[in-house]
Structure 1
Amino acid sequence: MVTTLMARAGPGWRQNNNKTKPYMPLVLIKEEKTWKEALRYCRENHVDLVSVENERVQRWVELIIKPASTDNVWVGLRHTCTLSFWFWVSGNSVCYQNWAPGNGTGVEDCSNGERSGAVQSGSGKWISLLENQTLNFICSTV
């Protein structure tokens, strides 16, 4: 199931039937996939997993995750165990941050596999998870 959301506030606006409506270029996919499967799905069907690079996008994410069927939702946040840092799949480094306490700011335990970032459906805070877990996910459409 796919949930698209038209935000009520934000800089993006779309003309539809002679009415101007706010537009948020994100889509919640209510299928459960691993992080790599979610990334592939977004790249094949939309643009990419969402990169939450500022507070505006964070607010959009918090709106769109409300109907999620999993407690956490994948975003395009990836950790490299070799170099020990987080980055967005867009290629940008993580400047804006919204980590839940105890997540993302210390040394990651990579002993059980690679880690990727998810957003908690309730709080909107970011968490670090093993990428083999299956979750809903958010794709960007632009």
Structure 2
Amino acid sequence: MERILLGLLFLSECVILSTCFPYQYHFADQSLTWTEAQTYCRQKHTDLVSIRNSEELNQLINMLSSAGHSSEVWIGLFKEFDWKWSDGFNGTGAEYRNWETNQPGSISELYVLIGGFGRWWDNVETNVYPCVCYTGTQLNPRYVLVNQYMTWPNAQRFCRENFTDLATVRNDAENQAVTSVAQKAAWIGLFRGPNFYWSDESSFLFTNWQSGENQISSTTDMCGVTSLQNSGQWKFSSCETKLPFVCYKPAVVWRQVVKLRLKMEDSLTLNDPVLRANIMKMLQDRLKENRVSGVTLKWRGQPVEEETQTLG
């Protein structure tokens, strides 16, 4: 057994040298819009780069540092600002907006208020305001002020339980009618979804947002940038801006096969399944101790003398 253990120590040291990153990143030093960069990456590589964990973030930072590029680059992040009405209205006038200057605001503000002068701005879920509900039908609404301070989701629930829904505003006349009823800041029915996306449809769990407000203005789409200057943190920019970008593709996986010939004492045989299981467990334990992952172990016998087998 001592010779077996020595062989296992040798094998674990060899395997440690074969680990690698699962993806290769390519820095494209040409300025394209986000959509043009996406097309380029899909044709030449796999897609615009996705960042799903801190290891991939560090890999991207190191790659940009090696390329000597510190300013902004496109990554695969994007957001569709899909403003919708609470009652589901999507007919004529559903696209009507009366935003205040520099509104909508930041990416964290999902719900819309109307002010005393009829201008709109977005706000976060945790803030509380009165709300304007309506009764009747979508095409013939009657607006009602609910002078209770509540969050937008609670206001939506209240309006649906006691009236028809939060107010939908389709034109200047309806906007003036809602303003007259509200007389001060109040929730209306406009909102948007919170979701962000990666170009390759990877799950969006890991985040690395740049601190401070990220203004989204009145655009319908925004695309993600990062930079070495900001330590790889993300923010949104207009998708029509022309920037360099980073693509990715799966890394070439180098398969390293290490064979170990084990010669047994007369009292032992590698045909014993219990002995084989113990050897494989010792090897797995050694790999785990050395923090080695992504390694597949297989037992493969060879038609040699009975007392000799190969572990590959």
Please, what TM-score do these two structures have when normalized by structure 2?
0.36
Q: Which residue identity is paired with 1:73?
A: V
- State the partner residue of 2:56: 57
Q: Residue 85 of structure 1: CA displacement?
A: 2.3
2:196 is paired with a residue whose SS is strand
Please, what TM-score do these two structures have when normalized by structure 1?
0.75
Structure exhibiting the larger radius of gyration computed from Cα positions: 2
**Is contact 1:86-1:93 (8 Å) kept?**
no
**Is contact 1:29-1:138 (8 Å) kept?**
yes
Is residue 12 from structure 1 mapped to residue 20 from structure 2 by the alignment?
A: yes
- State the partner residue of 1:130: 238
**Is contact 1:51-1:89 (8 Å) kept?**
yes
**Is contact 2:216-2:236 (8 Å) kept?**
no
RMSD of aligned C-alpha atoms?
A: 2.1
- 2:242, 2:209 → 1: CA distance? 20
**Is contact 2:23-2:248 (8 Å) kept?**
no
- State the partner residue of 1:94: 204
Q: Residue 63 of structure 1: CA displacement?
A: 1.0
- State the partner residue of 2:172: none
2:202 is paired with a residue whose SS is coil
| Distance change (3 Å), C-alpha of 1:103 and 1:45 | farther
- 1:48, 1:117 → 2: CA distance? 14
Q: Residue 140 of structure 1: CA displacement?
A: 0.5
- 1:138, 1:69 → 2: CA distance? 11
- State the partner residue of 1:3: none
- State the partner residue of 1:75: 75
Is residue 114 from structure 1 mapped to residue 122 from structure 2 by the alignment?
A: no
Residue-by-residue CA offset, 1:3-27 (whole Å, 9 max, x unaligned): xxxxxxxx526xxxxxxxxx85111
Q: How does 1:40-55 map to 2 (within 5 A)?
A: 40-55=39-54
Unaligned runs of 5+ in 1: 1-10, 14-22
| Distance change (3 Å), C-alpha of 1:56 and 1:132 | same
- State the partner residue of 1:140: 248
- 1:53, 1:103 → 2: CA distance? 23
Residue-by-residue CA offset, 1:42-76 (whole Å, 9 max, x unaligned): 00111100110111110111111223557201110
Q: Residue 79 of structure 1: CA displacement?
A: 0.5
- 2:69, 2:58 → 1: CA distance? 19
- 2:68, 2:80 → 1: CA distance? 27
2:237 is paired with a residue whose SS is strand
- State the partner residue of 1:30: 29
- 1:87, 1:70 → 2: CA distance? 24
Q: Residue 80 of structure 1: CA displacement?
A: 1.4
- 1:133, 1:78 → 2: CA distance? 13
- 2:236, 2:81 → 1: CA distance? 12
Q: Which residue identity is paired with 1:124?
A: G
Q: Residue 99 of structure 1: CA displacement?
A: 0.8
**Is contact 2:26-2:247 (8 Å) kept?**
yes
Q: Residue 102 of structure 1: CA displacement?
A: 2.5
**Is contact 1:49-1:139 (8 Å) kept?**
yes
Q: Residue 86 of structure 1: CA displacement?
A: 1.1
| Distance change (3 Å), C-alpha of 1:30 and 1:77 | same
